[in-house]
Structure 1
Amino acid sequence: MTVELENAVVVVIGGGEGIGAAGAIALAAAGAWVVVADIDARAAEMTALDITQTGGQALHVACDISRAADLARLHRTTTENFGAVDLVWAHAGRAVAGRLEKVGIEEWAGLMDLNCGGVVRTFLEFGPPMIDRGHGQLVITSSSLALFPDQVPIAAPYVLTKSALVGLARSLRAYLEPTGVGVTLLCPDATHTRHATEVPLIGLDRTAFDAELDTAKLDKPEDVADALVAALRQGDFFVSLTPDVGTRMLDDVHRLTGAPRSSRALVMSGCLRVNPRHHDRVAAAMTQVVAESRKEPDNLAYAWSADLDQPGVFHLFEHWSTREGLERHAASTHGQAFLDLLKEVGPVEADLHTHEVGATQSLTLPD
């Protein structure tokens, strides 16, 4: 369900720095009245100050999500100052990584209590009034590591907690949907925050770990915040900046189960625009690539046509039995030669699209 942020009362737990702080600021910029909560009272105060100095509405509250009493006080302070809570974001948490056999049970249990128990405590405190009103939104922060845990196996204790939150968010979404209360699941990728760059290590050398961390490839907290705000407005359940996240998740399922990938046929269509003075040269190359492409075993149809009214504009229709067949075509000698020509005559405007074909049927013309 979509979320109206203008004048909404929003509580951000873990809003003192990083993604939480960026999110609090972005939500305030969208018109929300924001309560910034964090175990670090000074950090929460600074985030709230950033909001109020730019004309937004905010206050800060010290809160430890491992303590139900702190959450109750946070709830009470919010309602006394801003009114009923429309959205609560359970973002606070911590991570640990290292040699897993060196991580004691107390560390595993502590992470579970903070990262998972904190979200449950947040729901138990803020959820019932939302259910009674038939209105509200719960945002839960998990991680891309919950989706792809084998990419950083040394973070298994953290992954355990964040994987649990994916299941919790999906369960709460199904449970709360009839009540009018929504759930949003945020799964940030590696982000340039202290949470990622200064993660506590157990049994590992800090210098070696830091040497392998490429901070230039980390997402920006502001980008994650913007994605969350957009998702709330659109009513999206799942929020991720991981490139091709859906395809990667499907690949993981097929890899884990050993099931073959679907061999759906693929259609590519669209047009290319080149400088009109290169029209004849490109047309000649297209004639050659069409002839060679039709010989490929995975090709079902291949046609290029020049626009009759616009020199330099060419229309494309390709039909391939599998995506792998299209990929082999792109890597073929004639496919690469045509791509090299386009680079040579550039710039080229391409408006091309692929369409997966779930089913086909023959059509006959009426008598």
Structure 2
Amino acid sequence: MSMTFSGQVALVTGGAAGIGRATALAFAAEGLRVVVSDVDATGGEGTVELIRSAGGEATFIRCDVTRDAEVKALMDGVVAAYGRLDYAFNNAGIEIEKGKLAEGSEAEFDAIMGVNVKGVWLCMKHEIPLLLAQGGGAIVNTASVAGLGAAPKMSIYAASKHAVIGLTKSAAIEYAKKKVRVNAVCPAVIDTDMFRRAYEADPKKAEFAAAMHPVGRVGKVEEIAAAVLYLCSDGASFTTGHSLAVDGGATAI
């Protein structure tokens, strides 16, 4: 299926590594000009270099998505660099919780909700006017399989991803007739640097993580990137308000 993206512009937040980097590279490989954003400037610039070395066009803009002024400046930077915005992948997120609900702290709650929920809300708030100015476009938000059910010892994280799905569905309905589609991608456990750091000291935990998925392995960042590109493509032109699980069958159990 042709993605028909050539010459358009995509924004990827959380683009310094992992799923964000893979998606930025995938967008660029389809001919899009890509704005990469993250609080990690070194990683973000690294993603841009990878795109440019492959013959693509990309720009890095540092942004803390929890701050309205910085998100507004990011959108201004997108317009200054490329004159338009067609697609946005709101992927910036954190995952720092490792205990039962009653063991959580207010600081953890504020940090997780700040990036995962407020960050997505602020990005959509400032992206949607740019998409409307273009006559439409598509947004994909990173939720999680934790947003589709329970996540023991990660209750705040799960709540944040349920909230992302709520924001996604609400925005999708509000702007459906304006040709702005809004969907979410819901990964299960994905082989990222974060995953490797968490499990490298305990191979048995890594084996358990793989066994959580009926396909018998964890996911690849490229598989999430492919889902994001599909949701942005013309092939998904009748799809909005959807939360796409990319989970190796985990939510089918």
Specify the TM-score bucket, using the shorter chain as the normaliser. 0.7 to 0.9
**Structure 1 vs Structure 2: percent identity of aligned residues?**
26
Scaled by the length of structure 2, what TM-score is found?
Answer: 0.86
Could you say which residue in structure 2 is the equivalent of 1:224? 224
1:86-106 deviation line (CA, Å, top 9, x unaligned) = 111110010123222221122
1:13-54 deviation line (CA, Å, top 9, x unaligned) = 111000000000001101110011010011010001100111
In 2, the alpha carbon distance for the partners of 1:91 and 1:182 equals 16
In 1, the alpha carbon distance for the partners of 2:250 and 2:231 equals 15
- Tell me, yes or no, if structure 1 residue 33 matches structure 2 residue 23: no
Task: Report the Cα offset of residue 67 of structure 1.
Answer: 1.3
- Tell me, yes or no, if structure 1 residue 213 matches structure 2 residue 218: no
Give the secondary-structure state (helix, strand or coil) at the position aligned to 1:11.
Answer: strand
Distance change (3 Å), C-alpha of 1:185 and 1:103 = same
In 2, the alpha carbon distance for the partners of 1:24 and 1:174 equals 27
Higher Cα radius of gyration: 1
- Tell me, yes or no, if structure 1 residue 139 matches structure 2 residue 140: yes
Could you say which residue in structure 2 is the equivalent of 1:69? 69
Distance change (3 Å), C-alpha of 1:133 and 1:7 = closer
Q: Which has the higher contact order (CA 8 A, sep 6+)?
A: 2
Could you say which residue in structure 1 is the equivalent of 2:16? 16
Instruction: State the AA in 2 paired with 1:213.
Output: A
Task: Check the 8 A contact 2:87/2:232 in 1, yes or no.
Answer: no
Instruction: State the AA in 1 paired with 2:205.
Output: E
Could you say which residue in structure 2 is the equivalent of 1:174? 173
Instruction: State the AA in 1 paired with 2:170.
Output: S
Task: Show structure 2 runs of 5+ residues with no match.
Answer: 211-216
RMSD of aligned Cα (Å): 2.3
Could you say which residue in structure 2 is the equivalent of 1:239? 244
Task: Report the Cα offset of residue 247 of structure 1.
Answer: 4.5
Could you say which residue in structure 2 is the equivalent of 1:106? 107
Q: Which has the higher strand share?
A: 1
| Residues 355-366 of structure 1: pairs in structure 2 closer than 5 A | none
| Residues 117-132 of structure 1: pairs in structure 2 closer than 5 A | 117-132=118-133
In 1, the alpha carbon distance for the partners of 2:89 and 2:22 equals 13
Task: Check the 8 A contact 1:94/1:195 in 2, yes or no.
Answer: no
Distance change (3 Å), C-alpha of 1:36 and 1:194 = same
Scaled by the length of structure 1, what TM-score is found?
Answer: 0.60
In 2, the alpha carbon distance for the partners of 1:37 and 1:246 equals 31
- Number of residue pairs aligned between Structure 1 and Structure 2: 238
Task: Report the Cα offset of residue 194 of structure 1.
Answer: 3.0
Instruction: State the AA in 2 paired with 1:117.
Output: K
